[in-house]
Structure 1
């Protein structure tokens, strides 16, 4: 079974998550290609995992366009979606909500429904203030910005691998 893992990233953290998902799916015996959405073509694949970095509560534009443009192909195959975005070590926000659930991008519900995705997962991301450009970089230099957007790599590789392993098991022939 051929699986396409397609992703949209701005600074590379989501690409790392996509690569780990691809590696993990490959270990379950699936044939996997990992591609940025700009280079991904769904023809010939049996299943899809599509992910995007989340900024300001939304998936990156190119990821949304990929799902919408390839809706007909994706909708007839198993699809999973993932997002990366929240940073920090806190798993609950001030209101007691799971940070990952509270950080789920606004457009995910519509995308999930559009392609009948079997699931969506939000993963913690990575923030390197030195890599940020423009206003994003300035925000992380301010005291309030440093508190809201702590720097570091917060990706939980075990969580990512367990999620991908579950997908791999689901895609195995009965």
Structure 2
């Protein structure tokens, strides 16, 4: 099956289906990403070939599957396979140790579930999009500058050649 590289994905990984659906609805109204939901980290890891730009990953993923990997274990797998993916950890835990662990293993940010979690998520995704736009513009500017430098060097060498020929 060919993968459409132009489709941009957000993966939502939470073992609470209501949480996943509410967040999916909220983000769908605000962003043009295709949003896929998963009730386990293992399911999301299997779909990493879709090249998701953003992954919202719950810390506790064993409400229904006692042997499921926790969010940090899934985060490690994701970063190993897809280091450029922006992983936002989402958790009901407000323990600093969990946030530090998440960041240590490559999480882009850490959000505590609560009344402001969805708006905070929206702000983080807007920041990720802005950073992505800046990187794309930077890449374009570098290509333009490189082309201008190569053209300038060509003109200088051509000028030197013409001067040498006129002598």
In the alignment, the residues of structure 2 paired with residue 21 and residue 82 of structure 1 have an alpha-carbon distance, to the nearest angstrom, of 17
Greater relative contact order (Cα < 8 A, sep 6+): 1
Q: 1:110 to 1:158 in 2, by over 3 A?
A: closer
Whether 2:81 is the aligned partner of 1:73: answer yes
Find the structure with the greater CA-based Rg.
2
Structure 2 stretches of 5 or more lacking a match? 1-6, 62-67, 138-167
| Structure 1 residues 31 and 155: CA distance shift in structure 2, 3 A | same
Higher-helix-fraction structure:
2
Scaled by the length of structure 1, the TM-score of the pair is 0.50
Instruction: Summarize the Cα distance change of 1:38–1:66 in structure 2 as closer, same or farther, 3 Å threshold.
Output: same
Q: How far did residue 84 of structure 1 move?
A: 3.1
- The correspondence for 2:36, drawn from 33, 37, 53, is 33
User: How many Å separate the matches in 1 of 2:59 and 2:108?
Assistant: 19
Q: Deviations over 1:122-144 (max 9, x none)?
A: 231xxxxxxxxxxxxxxxxxxxx
Distance 1:159 1:111 in 2: 17
**Backbone CA RMSD of aligned residues:** 3.4
**CA drift at 1:7:** 1.2
Q: Between Structure 1 and Structure 2, which shows a larger proportion of strand residues?
A: 1
2:51 alignment partner, SS class:
coil
Matched, 1:112 2:112: no
Within 5 Å, which residues of 2 pair with 1:94-133? 103-104=94-95, 106-115=97-106, 117-124=107-114
> Residue 160 of structure 1 aligns with which residue?
121
Aligned twin of 1:15 = 20
CA, structure 1 residues 119+23, in 2 after alignment: closer, same or farther (shift >3 Å)?
same
User: Is the contact between residue 67 and residue 74 of structure 1 (CA under 8 Å) also seen in structure 2?
Assistant: no
Q: Is the 8 A contact 1:43 1:73 kept in 2?
A: no
The alpha-carbon distance between structure 1 residues 169 and 33, as it changes in their structure 2 partners (threshold 3 A), is: farther
* Equivalent residue, structure 2, for 1:147: none
| Structure 1, unaligned runs of 5 or more | 87-102, 125-153
1:16-43: CA deviation from partner (whole Å, max 9, x where unpaired) = 454146425xx44434433332421212
How far residue 167 of structure 1 moved from its aligned partner, in angstroms, is 2.8
Distance 1:28 1:167 in 2: 12
Cα offsets for 1:97-150 (capped at 9, x unmatched): xxxxxx1463332332223x33222231xxxxxxxxxxxxxxxxxxxxxxxxxx
Which of structure 1's runs of 4+ aligned residues deviate more than 6 A?
none
